[in-house]
Protein backbone atom coordinates (compact mmCIF):
# COMPACT_ATOMS: atom_id res chain seq x y z
CA UNK A 1 0.00 0.00 0.00
CA UNK A 2 1.22 3.51 -0.78
CA UNK A 3 1.85 6.13 1.88
CA UNK A 4 1.35 8.97 -0.63
CA UNK A 5 -1.33 11.60 0.02
CA UNK A 6 -0.88 13.71 -3.14
CA UNK A 7 -0.89 12.84 -6.83
CA UNK A 8 2.78 13.81 -7.14
CA UNK A 9 3.75 11.53 -4.24
CA UNK A 10 1.63 8.72 -5.69
CA UNK A 11 3.50 9.04 -8.98
CA UNK A 12 6.88 9.09 -7.23
CA UNK A 13 6.13 6.06 -5.03
CA UNK A 14 4.80 4.05 -7.95
CA UNK A 15 7.85 4.86 -10.09
CA UNK A 16 10.11 3.87 -7.21
CA UNK A 17 8.32 0.56 -6.73
CA UNK A 18 7.62 -0.42 -10.33
CA UNK A 19 10.69 0.85 -12.21
CA UNK A 20 11.81 -1.82 -14.68
CA UNK A 21 8.61 -3.82 -14.13
CA UNK A 22 5.98 -1.53 -15.68
CA UNK A 23 6.70 0.95 -18.55
CA UNK A 24 7.19 4.54 -17.26
CA UNK A 25 4.34 5.94 -19.35
CA UNK A 26 1.96 3.31 -17.95
CA UNK A 27 3.02 4.18 -14.40
CA UNK A 28 2.22 7.88 -15.01
CA UNK A 29 -1.22 6.98 -16.34
CA UNK A 30 -2.00 4.47 -13.58
CA UNK A 31 -0.73 6.78 -10.82
CA UNK A 32 -3.58 9.17 -11.62
CA UNK A 33 -6.12 6.37 -11.31
CA UNK A 34 -4.47 5.05 -8.12
CA UNK A 35 -4.59 8.50 -6.56
CA UNK A 36 -8.32 8.81 -7.33
CA UNK A 37 -9.06 5.29 -6.06
CA UNK A 38 -7.23 5.91 -2.80
CA UNK A 39 -9.02 9.25 -2.34
CA UNK A 40 -12.49 7.79 -2.99
CA UNK A 41 -11.72 4.74 -0.87
CA UNK A 42 -11.34 6.97 2.20
CA UNK A 43 -14.36 9.10 1.32
CA UNK A 44 -16.60 6.03 1.01
CA UNK A 45 -15.09 4.08 3.92
CA UNK A 46 -14.08 1.17 1.68
CA UNK A 47 -11.34 -1.40 2.06
CA UNK A 48 -9.62 -2.98 -0.95
CA UNK A 49 -8.40 -6.58 -0.83
CA UNK A 50 -6.02 -7.61 -3.63
CA UNK A 51 -5.18 -11.17 -4.60
CA UNK A 52 -1.53 -11.97 -5.35
CA UNK A 53 -2.43 -12.34 -9.05
CA UNK A 54 -3.41 -8.71 -9.57
CA UNK A 55 -1.38 -6.85 -12.20
CA UNK A 56 1.67 -5.08 -10.70
CA UNK A 57 0.48 -1.45 -10.92
CA UNK A 58 -2.79 -2.31 -9.17
CA UNK A 59 -1.20 -4.75 -6.71
CA UNK A 60 1.35 -2.22 -5.49
CA UNK A 61 -0.88 0.85 -5.29
CA UNK A 62 -4.49 0.44 -4.14
CA UNK A 63 -5.10 -2.66 -1.96
CA UNK A 64 -5.10 -2.21 1.81
CA UNK A 65 -4.33 -5.90 2.10
CA UNK A 66 -2.84 -8.37 -0.38
CA UNK A 67 -2.56 -12.13 -0.04
CA UNK A 68 -3.72 -15.59 -1.00
CA UNK A 69 -7.31 -16.87 -0.85
CA UNK A 70 -7.02 -18.02 2.75
CA UNK A 71 -5.39 -14.85 4.05
CA UNK A 72 -7.87 -12.60 2.26
CA UNK A 73 -10.84 -14.67 3.54
CA UNK A 74 -9.64 -14.10 7.09
CA UNK A 75 -9.28 -10.37 6.50
CA UNK A 76 -12.68 -10.17 4.78
CA UNK A 77 -14.32 -11.88 7.75
CA UNK A 78 -13.07 -9.16 10.13
CA UNK A 79 -13.28 -6.12 7.85
CA UNK A 80 -15.22 -3.27 9.45
CA UNK A 81 -15.32 -0.85 6.49
CA UNK A 82 -18.74 -0.27 4.91
CA UNK A 83 -17.60 -1.53 1.51
CA UNK A 84 -15.25 -4.40 0.68
CA UNK A 85 -13.84 -4.18 -2.85
CA UNK A 86 -12.40 -7.54 -3.83
CA UNK A 87 -9.73 -7.31 -6.51
CA UNK A 88 -9.76 -11.00 -7.32
CA UNK A 89 -12.25 -13.32 -8.98
CA UNK A 90 -15.91 -13.88 -8.25
CA UNK A 91 -15.62 -16.87 -5.92
CA UNK A 92 -13.26 -14.83 -3.73
CA UNK A 93 -15.67 -11.89 -3.53
CA UNK A 94 -18.46 -14.36 -2.75
CA UNK A 95 -16.40 -15.81 0.09
CA UNK A 96 -16.03 -12.30 1.53
CA UNK A 97 -19.82 -11.83 1.37
CA UNK A 98 -20.41 -15.28 2.91
CA UNK A 99 -18.21 -14.34 5.87
CA UNK A 100 -19.22 -10.71 6.28
CA UNK A 101 -22.83 -10.47 5.03
CA UNK A 102 -23.73 -7.04 6.38
CA UNK A 103 -21.06 -5.35 4.25
CA UNK A 104 -21.43 -4.26 0.65
CA UNK A 105 -19.02 -6.50 -1.29
CA UNK A 106 -18.05 -5.31 -4.77
CA UNK A 107 -16.25 -7.18 -7.54
CA UNK A 108 -14.74 -4.68 -10.01
CA UNK A 109 -15.87 -6.62 -13.11
CA UNK A 110 -19.25 -7.82 -14.35
CA UNK A 111 -17.73 -11.29 -14.73
CA UNK A 112 -14.47 -12.69 -13.39
CA UNK A 113 -14.90 -16.44 -13.31
CA UNK A 114 -12.57 -19.38 -12.75
CA UNK A 115 -12.30 -22.64 -14.70
CA UNK A 116 -12.26 -24.62 -11.45
CA UNK A 117 -15.37 -22.94 -10.04
CA UNK A 118 -17.11 -23.52 -13.40
CA UNK A 119 -16.26 -27.24 -13.37
CA UNK A 120 -18.83 -28.28 -10.77
CA UNK A 121 -22.44 -27.50 -9.83
CA UNK A 122 -24.39 -27.94 -6.62
CA UNK A 123 -26.31 -30.74 -8.35
CA UNK A 124 -23.03 -32.54 -9.12
CA UNK A 125 -22.21 -32.44 -5.39
CA UNK A 126 -25.67 -33.76 -4.46
CA UNK A 127 -25.18 -36.63 -6.94
CA UNK A 128 -21.77 -37.43 -5.46
CA UNK A 129 -23.21 -37.48 -1.94
CA UNK A 130 -25.92 -39.89 -3.11
CA UNK A 131 -23.31 -42.08 -4.79
CA UNK A 132 -20.92 -42.10 -1.78
CA UNK A 133 -23.27 -41.69 1.20
CA UNK A 134 -21.86 -40.59 4.56
CA UNK A 135 -18.49 -39.54 3.10
CA UNK A 136 -17.55 -35.97 4.13
CA UNK A 137 -17.16 -33.45 1.31
CA UNK A 138 -14.18 -31.11 1.29
CA UNK A 139 -14.44 -28.32 -1.25
CA UNK A 140 -11.70 -26.06 -2.50
CA UNK A 141 -12.67 -22.39 -2.01
CA UNK A 142 -12.43 -22.02 -5.81
CA UNK A 143 -16.15 -22.87 -6.06
CA UNK A 144 -19.38 -20.86 -5.99
CA UNK A 145 -21.54 -20.37 -2.91
CA UNK A 146 -24.18 -22.96 -3.88
CA UNK A 147 -21.46 -25.63 -4.17
CA UNK A 148 -19.92 -24.60 -0.85
CA UNK A 149 -23.40 -24.85 0.68
CA UNK A 150 -23.55 -28.57 -0.19
CA UNK A 151 -20.23 -29.35 1.48
CA UNK A 152 -18.97 -30.09 4.96
CA UNK A 153 -15.82 -28.02 4.98
CA UNK A 154 -13.84 -25.83 2.61
CA UNK A 155 -10.09 -25.68 2.10
CA UNK A 156 -7.53 -23.65 0.19
CA UNK A 157 -4.30 -24.86 -1.37
CA UNK A 158 -2.56 -23.60 1.80
CA UNK A 159 -4.49 -25.80 4.25
CA UNK A 160 -5.94 -28.71 2.22
CA UNK A 161 -3.87 -31.41 3.96
CA UNK A 162 -4.62 -29.97 7.41
CA UNK A 163 -8.35 -29.87 6.61
CA UNK A 164 -8.35 -33.53 5.49
CA UNK A 165 -6.35 -34.57 8.55
CA UNK A 166 -8.87 -32.77 10.77
CA UNK A 167 -11.69 -35.10 9.68
CA UNK A 168 -12.41 -38.07 11.89
CA UNK A 169 -12.88 -40.43 8.96
CA UNK A 170 -10.55 -42.10 6.46
CA UNK A 171 -12.82 -41.49 3.50
CA UNK A 172 -13.23 -38.12 1.85
CA UNK A 173 -14.72 -36.52 -1.25
CA UNK A 174 -12.39 -33.73 -2.43
CA UNK A 175 -13.68 -31.26 -5.05
CA UNK A 176 -13.27 -29.97 -7.72
CA UNK A 177 -9.55 -29.71 -8.64
CA UNK A 178 -8.17 -33.04 -9.89
CA UNK A 179 -4.52 -32.01 -9.55
CA UNK A 180 -4.85 -30.43 -6.12
CA UNK A 181 -6.71 -33.57 -5.01
CA UNK A 182 -3.97 -35.85 -6.39
CA UNK A 183 -1.26 -33.73 -4.75
CA UNK A 184 -3.09 -33.71 -1.42
CA UNK A 185 -3.85 -37.44 -1.66
CA UNK A 186 -0.10 -38.02 -1.83
CA UNK A 187 0.53 -35.76 1.17
CA UNK A 188 -2.14 -37.45 3.28
CA UNK A 189 -1.51 -41.04 2.13
CA UNK A 190 -4.87 -41.54 0.37
CA UNK A 191 -5.78 -43.63 -2.66
CA UNK A 192 -7.76 -41.42 -4.98
CA UNK A 193 -10.19 -42.15 -7.80
CA UNK A 194 -11.09 -39.40 -10.27
CA UNK A 195 -13.97 -39.71 -12.74
CA UNK A 196 -13.68 -39.59 -16.51
CA UNK A 197 -16.25 -37.50 -18.34
CA UNK A 198 -17.45 -37.02 -21.89
CA UNK A 199 -18.92 -33.66 -20.92
CA UNK A 200 -22.31 -35.21 -20.14
CA UNK A 201 -21.77 -38.36 -18.09
CA UNK A 202 -19.33 -38.80 -15.22
CA UNK A 203 -17.91 -42.30 -14.70
CA UNK A 204 -16.01 -43.60 -11.68
CA UNK A 205 -13.96 -46.80 -11.73
CA UNK A 206 -14.64 -48.11 -8.22
CA UNK A 207 -13.14 -51.57 -8.82
CA UNK A 208 -9.94 -50.96 -6.79
CA UNK A 209 -9.22 -49.76 -3.24
CA UNK A 210 -9.85 -46.06 -2.67
CA UNK A 211 -10.53 -43.67 0.20
CA UNK A 212 -10.58 -40.37 -1.68
CA UNK A 213 -13.01 -39.39 -4.43
CA UNK A 214 -11.94 -36.52 -6.67
CA UNK A 215 -13.44 -34.55 -9.55
CA UNK A 216 -12.21 -33.63 -13.02
CA UNK A 217 -11.87 -29.83 -12.61
CA UNK A 218 -8.66 -28.15 -13.77
CA UNK A 219 -7.22 -24.68 -13.54
CA UNK A 220 -6.80 -23.55 -17.13
CA UNK A 221 -3.64 -21.64 -16.14
CA UNK A 222 -1.76 -24.24 -14.11
CA UNK A 223 -2.73 -27.03 -16.50
CA UNK A 224 -0.46 -25.37 -19.09
CA UNK A 225 2.82 -26.05 -17.25
CA UNK A 226 4.68 -29.26 -18.08
CA UNK A 227 7.66 -31.26 -16.80
CA UNK A 228 9.31 -30.49 -20.14
CA UNK A 229 9.10 -26.74 -19.35
CA UNK A 230 10.97 -27.41 -16.11
CA UNK A 231 13.58 -29.62 -17.78
CA UNK A 232 14.24 -26.97 -20.43
CA UNK A 233 14.64 -24.24 -17.84
CA UNK A 234 16.99 -26.37 -15.74
CA UNK A 235 19.17 -26.98 -18.82
CA UNK A 236 19.57 -23.23 -19.28
CA UNK A 237 19.71 -22.32 -15.58
CA UNK A 238 20.90 -25.35 -13.55
CA UNK A 239 20.82 -23.27 -10.34
CA UNK A 240 17.16 -22.20 -10.66
CA UNK A 241 14.69 -22.92 -7.85
CA UNK A 242 11.39 -23.96 -9.44
CA UNK A 243 8.37 -23.02 -7.34
CA UNK A 244 4.95 -24.26 -8.38
CA UNK A 245 1.33 -24.02 -7.25
CA UNK A 246 -0.43 -27.28 -6.22
CA UNK A 247 -3.02 -26.67 -8.95
CA UNK A 248 -0.21 -27.93 -11.26
CA UNK A 249 -0.13 -31.64 -12.11
CA UNK A 250 1.59 -33.99 -9.61
CA UNK A 251 4.31 -34.59 -12.22
CA UNK A 252 5.06 -30.85 -12.35
CA UNK A 253 4.97 -30.62 -8.55
CA UNK A 254 7.44 -33.56 -8.29
CA UNK A 255 9.80 -31.86 -10.74
CA UNK A 256 9.67 -28.58 -8.75
CA UNK A 257 11.76 -27.62 -5.71
CA UNK A 258 8.72 -26.41 -3.78
CA UNK A 259 4.94 -26.26 -4.18
CA UNK A 260 2.53 -24.15 -2.14
CA UNK A 261 -0.24 -21.58 -2.13
CA UNK A 262 0.53 -18.18 -3.64
CA UNK A 263 1.51 -16.84 -0.20
CA UNK A 264 3.72 -19.86 0.48
CA UNK A 265 5.38 -19.39 -2.92
CA UNK A 266 6.14 -15.75 -2.08
CA UNK A 267 7.49 -16.75 1.36
CA UNK A 268 9.72 -19.35 -0.29
CA UNK A 269 11.29 -16.76 -2.59
CA UNK A 270 11.77 -14.35 0.32
CA UNK A 271 13.19 -16.89 2.77
CA UNK A 272 15.06 -19.53 0.76
CA UNK A 273 18.34 -18.53 -0.87
CA UNK A 274 18.75 -19.48 -4.52
CA UNK A 275 20.60 -17.92 -7.44
CA UNK A 276 17.32 -17.42 -9.29
CA UNK A 277 13.67 -18.47 -9.12
CA UNK A 278 11.05 -19.58 -11.61
CA UNK A 279 7.40 -19.43 -10.56
CA UNK A 280 4.98 -21.80 -12.26
CA UNK A 281 1.79 -19.87 -11.69
CA UNK A 282 -0.17 -16.88 -13.00
CA UNK A 283 2.51 -14.60 -14.44
CA UNK A 284 1.65 -11.32 -12.68
CA UNK A 285 2.82 -12.81 -9.41
CA UNK A 286 6.42 -13.06 -10.64
CA UNK A 287 6.30 -9.35 -11.52
CA UNK A 288 4.78 -8.51 -8.13
CA UNK A 289 7.54 -10.36 -6.28
CA UNK A 290 10.21 -8.81 -8.53
CA UNK A 291 8.91 -5.39 -7.46
CA UNK A 292 8.71 -6.36 -3.74
CA UNK A 293 12.12 -8.05 -3.47
CA UNK A 294 14.29 -6.53 -6.23
CA UNK A 295 17.42 -8.19 -4.83
CA UNK A 296 16.06 -11.62 -5.86
CA UNK A 297 16.60 -12.78 -9.43
CA UNK A 298 13.18 -13.80 -10.79
CA UNK A 299 13.09 -15.53 -14.18
CA UNK A 300 10.13 -13.69 -15.68
CA UNK A 301 9.60 -16.16 -18.52
CA UNK A 302 6.02 -17.00 -17.78
CA UNK A 303 3.35 -15.69 -20.11
CA UNK A 304 0.29 -17.42 -18.73
CA UNK A 305 -2.13 -14.78 -17.49
CA UNK A 306 -5.41 -15.87 -15.89
CA UNK A 307 -8.07 -14.41 -18.20
CA UNK A 308 -10.42 -14.03 -15.23
CA UNK A 309 -8.02 -12.21 -12.91
CA UNK A 310 -7.18 -10.07 -15.93
CA UNK A 311 -10.75 -8.67 -15.90
CA UNK A 312 -9.87 -6.71 -12.77
CA UNK A 313 -8.23 -3.48 -13.89
CA UNK A 314 -7.53 -0.18 -12.17
CA UNK A 315 -10.15 1.52 -14.35
CA UNK A 316 -12.77 -1.05 -13.27
CA UNK A 317 -11.72 -0.68 -9.64
CA UNK A 318 -12.25 3.07 -9.84
CA UNK A 319 -15.67 2.51 -11.45
CA UNK A 320 -16.53 0.01 -8.70
CA UNK A 321 -16.00 2.77 -6.14
CA UNK A 322 -17.72 5.47 -8.18
CA UNK A 323 -20.83 3.48 -9.12
CA UNK A 324 -20.99 0.81 -6.36
CA UNK A 325 -20.59 -2.00 -8.89
CA UNK A 326 -20.71 -5.01 -9.17
CA UNK A 327 -22.39 -5.95 -5.93
CA UNK A 328 -22.27 -9.58 -4.75
CA UNK A 329 -25.63 -11.00 -3.68
CA UNK A 330 -26.11 -14.49 -2.27
CA UNK A 331 -29.38 -16.14 -1.36
CA UNK A 332 -29.47 -16.14 2.48
CA UNK A 333 -30.23 -19.89 2.81
CA UNK A 334 -27.24 -20.72 0.64
CA UNK A 335 -25.04 -18.16 2.39
CA UNK A 336 -25.76 -19.58 5.85
CA UNK A 337 -24.94 -23.14 4.73
CA UNK A 338 -21.81 -22.03 2.84
CA UNK A 339 -20.68 -19.99 5.85
CA UNK A 340 -20.62 -23.15 7.99
CA UNK A 341 -18.21 -24.83 5.56
CA UNK A 342 -15.95 -21.77 5.27
CA UNK A 343 -15.98 -20.97 9.00
CA UNK A 344 -15.16 -24.58 9.82
CA UNK A 345 -12.09 -24.22 7.60
CA UNK A 346 -11.04 -20.94 9.19
CA UNK A 347 -11.35 -22.44 12.67
CA UNK A 348 -8.69 -25.02 11.75
CA UNK A 349 -6.07 -22.27 11.55
The footprint of ligand SF4 (CB under 6 A) covers 89, 114-116, 142, 219-221, 247, 282, 306, 308-309
Q: How far is the CB of 199 from ligand 13P (least distance, A)?
A: 23
Closer to ligand SF4 by Cβ: residue 27 or 194 = 194
Q: Which does 156 bind (CB under 5 to 8 A by kind): ligand 13P, ligand SF4, none?
A: ligand 13P
CA 244-99-220 angle, to 5 degrees, is 30
Query: Rule CB under 6 A: is residue 288 a binding residue for ligand 13P?
Result: no
Q: Report phi then psi at 174, rounded to 5.
A: -125, 120
Distance between alpha carbon 19 and the CA centroid of its chain, in Å? 26
212 and 155 in contact (C-beta within 8 Å)?
A: no
Residue among 68, 94, 150, 287 that touches ligand 13P (CB under 6 A)? 68
Determine if residue 92 is left, alpha or beta; phi over 0 gives left, psi from -120 to 50 gives alpha, anything else beta. Answer: alpha
Q: How far is the CB of 117 from ligand SF4 (least distance, A)?
A: 7
- Helix ranges (DSSP H) in the chain: 7-18, 24-43, 56-59, 69-78, 90-99, 122-131, 145-148, 160-165, 178-188, 227-236, 250-255, 262-271, 284-292, 314-323, 332-348
86 and 286 in contact (C-beta within 8 Å)?
A: no
Q: How far is the CB of 309 from ligand SF4 (least distance, A)?
A: 6
Q: How far is the CB of 142 from ligand SF4 (least distance, A)?
A: 5
Closer to ligand SF4 by Cβ: residue 33 or 280 = 280
Q: How far is the CB of 70 from ligand 13P (least distance, A)?
A: 6
Residue among 90, 247, 287, 316 that touches ligand 13P (CB under 6 A)? 247
User: How many residues interact with ligand 13P (rule CB under 6 A)?
Assistant: 11
Tell me which residues in 121-160 interact with ligand 13P (CB under 6 A).
142, 156-157
48 and 317 in contact (C-beta within 8 Å)?
A: yes
Residue among 95, 159, 261, 317 that touches ligand 13P (CB under 6 A)? 261
Distance between alpha carbon 286 and the CA centroid of its chain, in Å? 15
The residues that touch ligand 13P, with contacts defined as CB under 6 A, are 52, 68-69, 142, 156-157, 219, 245, 247, 261-262
Amino acid sequence: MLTATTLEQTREEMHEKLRGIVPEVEIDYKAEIAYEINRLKKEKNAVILGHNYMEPALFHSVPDYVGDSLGLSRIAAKADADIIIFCGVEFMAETAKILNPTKTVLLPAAKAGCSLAASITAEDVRNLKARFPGVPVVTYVNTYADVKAETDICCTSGNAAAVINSLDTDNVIFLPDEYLARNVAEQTGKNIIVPTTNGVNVNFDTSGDFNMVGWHGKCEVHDKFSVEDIQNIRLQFPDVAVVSHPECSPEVVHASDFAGSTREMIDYVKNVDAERYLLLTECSMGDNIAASVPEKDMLRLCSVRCPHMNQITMEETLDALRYNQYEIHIDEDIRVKAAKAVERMIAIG
